[in-house]
Amino acid sequence: MRHRTLMTSLCRIVVLIALAVGPIAAVAADEPAELRVMTWNIWKGGRQDGDEIGPRKVIETIRESGAEIVALQETYGSGERIADELGYRFHPRGTNVSILSRHPIVEDLSVFEEFKCVGGLVELPDGKRIAFYSIWLPYAAEIWEAGTRDVADVDRMLAACAPSAVDLAAIREAIDRRLSDPKYDGVPIVIAGDFNSMSHLDYSAVARDDYRVEVDWPTSRVLGDAGYRDAWRECRPTIDRAADRTWTPRFPDQEQDRIDFVHYRGGSLRAVEARRIDDHPDRFPSDHAAVTIDFRFDRLPRDEVPLRLATYNIRHGEGNDRRVDLERTAAVLDELKPDFVGLQEVDLGAGRSGSVNQPRELGRMLGMHAAFGSFMDFQGGRYGMAILSKHPLTDVRALRLPDGNEPRIALLATARLPNDRTVTVVNVHFDWVDDDRFRFAQAQAVADELRRLDRPFVLLGDFNDTPESRTIELFRELAIEADKPQDDSFTFSAQRPVQEIDFVLFDRKANWQIDSVRVIDEPMASDHRPVLVEARLLPDPTDSGSGN
């Protein structure tokens, strides 16, 4: 590690503003500070285009990005020159991974193999510290060989990425041990680098148009299951393969994927903006795009989390005027300002709704994370249900239910809240016929799953049953119903409401406080009325209220 003369705080601020691509939002003295980090595999030391011009383009790209801390991979002898010309500190380990930092690196935190992991404790101008890691993970195939990423052979794809999961698990455990001393309590951890694997958050049901297959990538689970946040996906909730990809700007004929990540955990650090850099006036110098993340130090965690939760059967966007108008549906949802909303009767690519990916479009219009679960193939696409979330999702899964008059699932989406607690939203749409045998069998399957959950849950949806039914009574044993106003409890039909069949219920084991319940008078956008509940997840009196 080499230390350089520190600039004054004023000069540091001036340089940051001058070099940034687009201004960082101005922050008043009493508001949280900001920090920009980058991860970038610079490809053979950046020298692919020549020993002189290649590193020069790397230097120009980093300078123009405004990044203050950089996780480099494939440094290969170029790091010291890059750091010198930028005026950054250079913290290498082995030949591959290194850290460049505008701020002092006050302690080496490296773990695992030197070729794959380097870490340092970075001290910011205001005295805050960050444990920052640059990592490179292996890929067990030849990336240039045809067929190694063939979606028709998911097992082969998983096998190629399997070593990255093994190494990342070992790195995560080693970091936990290295930072176990109480002196690191409250220090945020950033793990950034070339993961050589894709993400289960990308290869999901809602993005099957892009990826053609759903894959539960083990590598992306390693950090997510340990409480780390995927900063890119947190800032960019709409999955878009072309906009997300980091591999590879130099070779457009290759399968384009997101394999370079910035994950973070702990303290009050929060990702607020993500950018990809993949162009240069004289040809981009690497086969990987660079990723920058802007972080803010928020005054978190909070002791309690206020949430707005809604359920709405949208009838694939078809209103009572018989027009399919998804923008109208989005406008109704926007008025509700939900943290979570469970949607029933949702189409993905079905002909009757214009072959639109409805969950992704609604998520895009509302700036929310979207999850989808399919009941069945339908009119050239799929028909099912969705969950939209203001908070980043960590896991989505479909629970297949006993068949009724149509196939049915329950959709479970787990999200990480601002105070780092997680909550699972469970969306249901049960069988509709008068005979409740199918419906009750489906409800029993959901109840069995709820009993197995080890985190707070919210159960919501179109139950197609009434308050006095055995279906609703079954769930009242496990959850507290959000009671609607007695004089305004009917949810169906929207124009002439005569039945209460849409419900929101809260896990009895968690410390929920229900503040208000409303049935929204919306007669046109669907044949159901939406239900909106305001509630708070209070700290569990048996623990600190944070964590998983």
366 in Cβ contact with 341 (< 8 Å): no
Alpha carbon distance 75, 224 (integer Å): 27
pLDDT band with cut points at 50, 70 and 90 for residue 19: very low
Q: What are the strands, taking DSSP E only, across 418-501?
A: 422-429, 457-462, 479-481
The rounded distance, in Å, linking the Cα atoms of 97 and 74 is: 6
pLDDT confidence bin for 137, thresholds 50/70/90: very high
d(C-alpha 471, C-alpha 436), whole Å = 8
* Average pLDDT value for residue range 371-390: 98
First to last CA, the chain: 36
The answer to whether residues 389 and 415 touch, using CB atoms and an 8 Å cutoff, is yes
Query: What is the mean pLDDT of the segment spanning 368-387?
Result: 98
pLDDT surpasses 90 at 445:
yes
Alpha carbon dihedral 80, 86, 89, 92, in 10-degree steps, equals -30
Domain with CATH 3.60.10.10 in the chain: 9-26+34-297, 305-537
pLDDT at 376: 97
Q: Taking 80 as the threshold, does the pLDDT of residue 469 lie above it?
A: yes
Residue 486 has pLDDT above 50, yes or no: yes
Q: Which residue has the higher pLDDT, 173 or 255?
A: 173
The answer to whether the CB of 115 falls within 8 A of the CB of 125 is: no
pLDDT at 91: 98
Q: Average pLDDT over the chain, rounded to whole?
A: 92
Residue 10 makes CB contacts below 8 A (sequence gap 6+) with none
Has residue 12 got a pLDDT over 80? no
State the burial class of residue 498 (Cβ atoms within 10 Å of its Cβ: 0-12, 13-18, 19+). Answer: exposed
Give residue 537's Cα distance to chain centre.
21
Residue-level pLDDT at 416? 96
- How sure is the predictor about 301, in pLDDT bands with cuts at 50, 70 and 90? low
Q: Has residue 26 got a pLDDT over 70?
A: no
Angle between helices 9-19 and 53-65 (to 10 degrees): 110
What would the mean pLDDT of 353-374 be, rounded to a whole number? Answer: 98
pLDDT-above-70 percentage for the chain: 92
Model pLDDT, residue 148: 82
CA 187 → CA 32, 124, 215, distances in Å?
A: 16, 12, 33
- What CATH number belongs to 305-537? 3.60.10.10
Q: Examine the pLDDT at 404 and tell me if it is beyond 50.
A: yes
pLDDT band at residue 302, thresholds of 50, 70 and 90? low
Residue type, 486: Q
Decide: 260 and 247 in contact? Cβ < 8 Å: yes
Confidence band, pLDDT 50/70/90 cuts, at residue 542: low
pLDDT at 226 over 70: yes
Contacts of 355 (CB under 8 A, 6+ apart): 349, 380, 381
Tell me the C-alpha distance between 33 and 130, whole Å.
13
The tens digit of pLDDT for each residue in 491-530 reads 999 999 999 999 999 999 999 999 999 999 999 999 999 9
Instruction: Return d(Cα 77, Cα 60) in angstroms, integer.
Output: 18
Per-residue pLDDT band at 143 (split at 50, 70, 90): confident
Q: What is the pTM of this model?
A: 0.91
Q: What is the mean pLDDT of residues 96-112?
A: 98
What homologous superfamily is domain 9-26+34-297 in, according to CATH?
A: Endonuclease/exonuclease/phosphatase (3.60.10.10)
Question: Which pLDDT band, with edges at 50, 70 and 90, does 300 fall under?
Answer: low
- Under the banding of pLDDT at 50, 70 and 90, the label for residue 146 is confident
